[in-house]
Amino acid sequence: MIRLEKRTAPSRFWTYAAPLLAVVLTMVCGALLFAALGNDPFVTIRTIFWDPLFSEFSWYYRPQLLIKAAPLVLIAIGLSFGFRAGVWNIGAEGQYILGAICGAAVGLAFYPTESVFIFPLMIVAGALGGWAWAMIPGFLRVRFGTNEILVSLMLVYVAQNLLASMALGALRNPDASGFPGSRNLARYPSATSWINEGAGLHWGVVFAFIAVIFAYITLSRHIFGFHVRLSGQSPRAARFAGVNPGLLVLICMGISGALAGLAGLFEVAGPSGLISIDFNAGYGFTAIIVAFLGRLHPVGILLAAGLMALTYIGGEIAQSNLRLPAAAIQLLQGMLLFFLLAVDVLTHYRVRFTSRRVV
């Protein structure tokens, strides 16, 4: 018989080992899945996890990894503040869209003027857009006690419709003879977020690293980070320590909204280039997985985003080279979160194998 016994303190070893074990288990079960689909499991796993980094075409894939990972890091870092404080912002996707719309709108308003001030203005607009969108569920929770999970999630669908209407209406490229979508910001020198397109380097990558450092210092050294952790673990103790719970909700929502908005802005002004109906690619949702995979720890999130980007790029290679269905890749990503949560039991519980015989 297997019994679980609660540990008095979370295991230090398993805190770090659990994500690794989850990755290994995902690889094993993924291999079984691919074998069942008729693919060579070893080749498939190698294609997904190895080829993007070390194959002969890795010069092309490596920049792609940066491009995929940067928005995930930015959004997940923001979410980690809220998740640690017990504020469940599930609507980062919507905040990401609003950041892109607001930032792009500012850039397009100046077209075709060239000025060094345009891009910084777009950054501010993008962050404010995401922040404002996140303030809606934040304010409703603080003022009326609504559930921020539902409200923020619903607002994703509102944002998607807003995005479609922008792509077809206000922000549509007037020179594109009726095709939906805005002008290409990546081809507008004052508004592009690219630093070096060939290397996959854009300002979002820079901001992602800044966000990691900022989050690390805030959470480990600043009293605000302490209050965030305290609020998540013991809300009553936090109030006793002098934390204003409503204000904390708003700040956490604000940070995650602003960072998601930034991610949207950098994406629309660089890799994506334009506001289109299908501009958003689910980064806001994947970032939730990244945040938990990274243990809500800034460095962990950096590594987890890298791993996630790897499965995206590797998955694309597997789709084109091995004819693997796209759903199989999503299944793989789902498995990763599933195993992580399952293995998490080991961090808080000790597994004991006991004989069935009881005295």
Partner 1 sequence: MTTPLLRLSGLTKAYPGVVANQDVSFDVQAGEIHALLGENGAGKSTLVKTIYGLVKPDAGQMALQGAPFVPAEPRAARAAGVAMVFQHFSLFDAMNVAENIALGMENPPPQREIAARVRQVSDQYGLPLDPSRIVGELSAGERQRVEIVRCLLQDPKLLIMDEPTSVLTPQEVAILFETLRRLRAAGTAILYISHKLEEIRALCDAATVLRLGRVVGTCDPRATSAREMAELMVGSSLHVPHKAARPEGDVILTLQGLSAKAPHRFGTALREIDLTVRRGEILGIGGVAGNGQDELVAALSGEIRTARDMVQFDGQGIGHLAPNARRHLGLLAAPEERMGHAAAPDMSLTENALLTAAVRQHLTARGFVRWGKARAFAGSVIAAFDVRTPGAGNTARSLSGGNLQKFVIGREIMQAPALLVVNQPTWGVDASAAAAIRQALLDLAAKGAAVICISQDLDELMEISDRFAALNGGRLSDPRPAQGLNVEQIGLMLGGAHDMEVAHVDA
Residues that bind partner 1 (CB under 8 A): 5, 8-10, 221-224, 226, 229-230, 233-234, 236-237, 239-242, 244, 350, 358-359
Minimum distance, C-beta of residue 350 to partner 1, in the bound complex (Å) = 7
Residue with tokens 């210092």: 217
Q: Closer CB to partner 1, residue 145 or residue 178?
A: 145
Minimum distance, C-beta of residue 86 to partner 1, in the bound complex (Å) = 13
Q: Which of these, 327, 14, 266, 324, lies nearest to 127 by C-alpha position?
A: 266
Minimum distance, C-beta of residue 130 to partner 1, in the bound complex (Å) = 25
Q: Closer CB to partner 1, residue 116 or residue 357?
A: 357
Residue with tokens 């503040």: 81
Q: Closer CB to partner 1, residue 64 or residue 80?
A: 80
Minimum distance, C-beta of residue 95 to partner 1, in the bound complex (Å) = 26
Minimum distance, C-beta of residue 3 to partner 1, in the bound complex (Å) = 11
Q: What is d(CA 202, CA 79) in angstroms, rounded to the nearest whole number? A: 22
Q: Closer CB to partner 1, residue 24 or residue 237?
A: 237
In single-letter form, the type of residue at position 328 comes to A
Q: Which of these, 271, 273, 302, lies nearest to 287 by C-alpha position?
A: 302
Minimum distance, C-beta of residue 16 to partner 1, in the bound complex (Å) = 17
Q: What is d(CA 198, CA 185) in angstroms, rounded to the nearest whole number? A: 17
What Å distances lie between residue 232 and 82, 180, 300, CA to CA? 9, 44, 19
Q: Which residues contact 55 (CB under 8 A, 6 or more apart)?
A: 61
Q: Closer CB to partner 1, residue 68 or residue 227?
A: 227
202: β partners: 194
Q: Closer CB to partner 1, residue 62 or residue 350?
A: 350
